[in-house]
Structure 1
C-alpha cells in the first residue's frame, strides 16, 4: 500500500486495516461485552463508532462468541411496526448465519397471532438462545435513525426488559446488546411515563492521542523527514478527531510540500489553511464540516437558538462547566464541542477557525429578526434602552420566538 492510498476517509475501516487506531474504548468495550454488560457507544458522527464495532465483533468471534450486527438504516424509518420488526428479525437471522436453517417468511407468518415486538422475543427465546449454547451479542448500529419513529420507545424498553429478564431467567445472562449511534441515553426512551433507559455501561470514545497512533505515523515514512514531528502538528490542528486526523494525514501524503526538517509547523499550517479552512464548504469532501454545521443550525427539535447561544458562551469564554444538561448533550452530539476535565470546549483548532465569531454572527442574524437591535444592546453593556423592542415590534418578536428554543440572552432581551 503506497502513501497515496494508505489512509481511508469515510465508512468503516475493515478488520486489521493498517490505519485502525486502538483506543481505550477498544479495551473497555471488549471487556464489557465479554463480561455480559449491556454497552452503548453514543457519540457524534465520524468518531469511529462503526469501525470500533467491526473490530470488536471480529475479536469476540475469534473467542467463539456468537455476534451479529444490525444497521438500522437498512430497515428504514417510514415503516409500520410489523414491517420494522420483520426487517430486524430478518437481519438477525442473516447476521447469525441462520437464514438457511430458519426460513424467515415461514417463521414470521407462523407468529402472526403475536404482536411484532413479541415475535422478536420469541425469536430470541426459541431460536437464538436455543440454537447457540454460549454467549450471544447483538450489535445495533445507527440507532439515531429510528429516534423519530413512534414505536422506538417500545423497542428500547424491550432491550431493557431483556436485560432485566436475567433476574428471572438465567438463559438471558448469555444475551447482551451493544448500541451505537448519535444519541443520548435519554433519547432512547422519551416517554416520561416509562422508566428511562438507565441501564448498561457507557463507553467513552475519545479522540486520538499521540501515544496511540503509531499506525498513522507509519504512513508518513519515506514521505516526510520527521514523521512523528509532523503528526504532532497534525494533532495540534485536529485535536485527535478521527476523521479530520485521517484526512489531514492523507492531504500531507498527497501534497507537493517537501516537509523539510524543522519546517513541519509552517508546512502543516499552510496545508490546513489552503485545503481545509479556506472556502471550506466547497472543499469539504467527504462531507464532515457541513454535517456539523447542519446539526447545529437545522436542529429538528427547534433548539437551534439555544444551541447557538450555548456555543456563543463557549466561544467567548473558551470553556464552560459541563453539567450534562439536554442542551449541552445535544451540542456535544454535533461534534463541535468536546467534554474534557469537566469542561466543554471547542473540539479543535480547525473547528474554532471555521465556526468562529464572524460565522456565528452571520447565522444568528439569519435566524433572529431583531439581531441588529440585540447586538447593539449587548455592545452597550445592556445599558442602551433605546435598543429594546417596544409595542407591536416586541409582540411580533415574541410571537416569532414562541416555538423557538432560544438562548438565555434572547430571553433576557425580549423580557427587558
Structure 2
C-alpha cells in the first residue's frame, strides 16, 4: 500500500499497469470523485476496491491473497468487488483528459494535445528515411510547423541518425546582413551541436581563394559529413527570418538546393537529410508570387477537420456536442492555435462558449493579439490592405492581382478558389476588419 496525497496523480501515472491485473485499488479516492473521461471509461470495466483506513487493510489483503492462490476473490466478497458505477456529481465540471497546456510555441513531444495530420506526418517520416530526403513545411504562423519539425527530428533520432536543429530566431539580426558571416556562423553552430570544435571553421575558411558558399560546402563535406557513419538530420526552423535579406537568403537557399542535388549522386552527401520550416506570412515582404524554395516534399499544413476538433474538445474535458463544435469552427475554422486557445480558456473556466462567441472578433477578446498582428501587417502594406478591403466588403469570391492573392493566402486571411479568393474565418475576420479598416458592405 502506498499513501498518496494526490490520488488522481497515482491513477494518471499507473492505471495502465493496473490493466494487466484487471483490478484497481482506490486509495482515499471516493467513487464519486470526478475523473477525466479517459480514466472514467477505463475504470468502468474493472473491478475496484476502495481503501479508506487501516480497518480496510485486512479485508483487502485477504482478497489479494485469495486472488494470488486461486485466481478468484473470496465468495463472500465477490458481490462487493463487482464493477461500481462511477458517478459524477452534477455541480462538478468534467476534468480534462490531461493537465491543460496554454497554447503557444512548440507542443511538447509527450503532449496529449498534439493532433497528427495525416497523411503528412507519415509522408515526412518516409521522406526522411530516404537518401536526399528533403522536407519543407510551410504555413501561416501558429499552424504547428515547429511542432511537426520537432517530431520529424525525434523520428530521425529513433532511426539512429545524428541530429542538429537550428532555430533562426536565435540568430542575431546583424548576422543575416553578410553571407560570409552568416555561413561561418551556420557551420560553427552545426559543428557545436555535433560535438565538433567550432574553432575549426575560421581555421578552415580561405577567403582569398574561395567564395563563402564554396568554403561552406567544403567544410560541411569534410568536417561534418565525411566522418559520419550514419545519416545526419538537419532541421532548420523559422527559415523565413532570412527572407528580408535578399542576397543572403538567395545564396543560402541555392546552397541547400545544391546539397540536395549532390545527395542524389554522391555517397558522402547522401548521408544528409534536411527539413525546413517557414511561415508563409513572410511572403508579404517578398517581391515574388512564388515560394522561395521549391524542391523536396512540400508540406502545406492544413487546418483541423471537424473530427479532429471534436477529439480536442474531448481531450479538454468539455462535454460539447456537434453543435457547440460547429459554433467554434464557424468562428475560427480548424486553425490549430485559435481552436486550442478557445478550448483552453473555456476548460479553465475563464469564459463560456457564449461569452467567447461575443468577444472573439474584438481587441478585448482572446484573439486580440492575433488580429492586431494581421492589422499591423496590412497597415504596413497599403496596396495589400486595399486588396483585402475588396475581399472583406463582399461575401462573393473576388479576383485579385496574382501577387496580392498569393500574399493574403500566405497570411492565412483568404482561401484560394481557382483564380479567385474568399475570406477565411468569416465570423472572426469580417466583423473585425470591417470595423478596423472602416469597410462598408
- Give the TM-score of the pair, scaled to structure 2: 0.67
CA distance in 2, matches of 1:251, 1:341: 37
CA distance in 2, matches of 1:350, 1:7: 26
Kindly state the Cα deviation for residue 44 of structure 1 after the two structures are TM-superposed: 1.1
Q: For 1:337-374, what per-residue CA distance to the aligned partner results, in whole angstroms no more than 9, with x for missing partners?
A: 23468863322134334444343336xxxxxxxxxxxx
CA distance in 2, matches of 1:328, 1:167: 35
- Change in CA separation of 1:319 and 1:270 when aligned onto 2, cut-off 3 Å: farther
1:118: which partner in 2?
Answer: 214
2:424 corresponds to which of 341, 347, 359: 347
1:293 corresponds to which of 372, 375, 379: 375
Say what the alpha-carbon RMSD is for the aligned residues.
3.4
> Runs of at least 4 residues of structure 1 off by over 6 A?
184-192
- Change in CA separation of 1:311 and 1:7 when aligned onto 2, cut-off 3 Å: farther
Kindly state the Cα deviation for residue 256 of structure 1 after the two structures are TM-superposed: 6.2
2:41: which partner in 1?
Answer: none
1:158 corresponds to which of 255, 258, 261: 255
CA distance in 2, matches of 1:110, 1:232: 60
Kindly state the Cα deviation for residue 85 of structure 1 after the two structures are TM-superposed: 1.6
Q: For 1:226-270, what per-residue CA distance to the aligned partner results, in whole angstroms no more than 9, with x for missing partners?
A: 36654343222210111110111012112366xxxxxxxxx6243
2:61: which partner in 1?
Answer: none
Kindly indicate whether residue 82 of structure 2 is the aligned counterpart of residue 9 of structure 1: no
Please show how residues 328-407 of structure 1 align to structure 2 within 5 Å: 328-339=405-416, 344-361=421-438
Q: Size of the alignment, in residue pairs?
A: 339
Kindly indicate whether residue 358 of structure 2 is the aligned counterpart of residue 273 of structure 1: yes
Secondary structure at the aligned position of 2:101 is classed as coil
1:178 corresponds to which of 275, 290, 296: 275
Secondary structure at the aligned position of 2:173 is classed as coil
CA distance in 1, matches of 2:284, 2:206: 30
- Give the TM-score of the pair, scaled to structure 1: 0.71
Which runs of 5 or more residues in structure 1 are unaligned? 258-266, 363-374, 380-416
- Change in CA separation of 1:286 and 1:327 when aligned onto 2, cut-off 3 Å: closer
2:404: which partner in 1?
Answer: 327
Kindly state the Cα deviation for residue 59 of structure 1 after the two structures are TM-superposed: 1.8
1:48: which partner in 2?
Answer: 144
- Change in CA separation of 1:178 and 1:361 when aligned onto 2, cut-off 3 Å: same
2:128: which partner in 1?
Answer: 33
- Change in CA separation of 1:351 and 1:229 when aligned onto 2, cut-off 3 Å: closer
Residues 153 and 188 in structure 1, CA contact (< 8 A), matched pair in contact too: no
Please show how residues 46-195 of structure 1 align to structure 2 within 5 Å: 46-79=142-175, 80-95=178-193, 98-99=194-195, 102-113=196-207, 114-149=210-245, 150-166=247-263, 168-183=265-280
CA distance in 2, matches of 1:16, 1:321: 44
- Change in CA separation of 1:215 and 1:135 when aligned onto 2, cut-off 3 Å: farther
Greater helix share, 1 or 2?
1
Residues 134 and 274 in structure 2, CA contact (< 8 A), matched pair in contact too: yes
Which runs of 5 or more residues in structure 2 are unaligned? 1-8, 10-94
- Change in CA separation of 1:230 and 1:331 when aligned onto 2, cut-off 3 Å: same
Residues 185 and 198 in structure 1, CA contact (< 8 A), matched pair in contact too: no
Q: Looking at CA atoms only, which structure, 1 or 2, has the larger radius of gyration?
A: 2
